[in-house]
Amino acid sequence: MTDGKIIKLDLPPDRSALSALKVGDAVSVNGIVYTARDQAHKRICAAIENGEKLPFDLNNAAIYYCGPTPATEGRIIGSCGPTTSGRMDAYTPTLIAHGLKVMIGKGVRNAEVQKAIRNGGAVYLTAIGGAAALYQSRVISCELIAYPDLGCESVYKLEVRDFPAVVSVI
């Protein structure tokens, strides 16, 4: 544990930054994260299987399990709290095998995902459920990049600053 100290985690992460993390560490995430929920994960995995171009480079990428709502006037993004990570478990080992390093969401991960995280040198960070307004305030840019037909489950490229999370699986 960090004993009250918050660790700055810049994205994309380097190997030494991830290997220094411990379960229970509080982190402040800074950099680019991509939103993706189960339907986007399904399409990304299908693209991998079919040898198609992916909507973003998975190498050292960070995915936030979130489906942002549309921004209201004067806002960068709408509500953007974490969603339940377990819905992505069927797809996560494939994405880790293709370079995914950071996942942010809420809830537990299954044993297969935990093993893939350990073997892939990745990390799972837990975000606070019910804190959508806090997370909204930490997004400094938002761009729709893939699957607009999925609505709030589309893939967005977010730049975040001082995004709070806790290390849950390493």
Q: What are phi and psi of 58, to 5 degrees?
A: -75, -20
Known catalytic residues are 41
User: Using CA atoms, how far apart are residues 137 and 133, in angstroms rounded to an integer?
Assistant: 6
Cβ–Cβ under 8 Å, residues 82 and 129: yes
Query: How many other CB atoms are there within 10 angstroms of residue 78's CB atom?
Result: 16
| DSSP codes, 56-114 | S--TT-EEE-B-PPPPPTT-S-S---B-BGGGGTTTHHHHHHTT--EEEEBS---HHHH
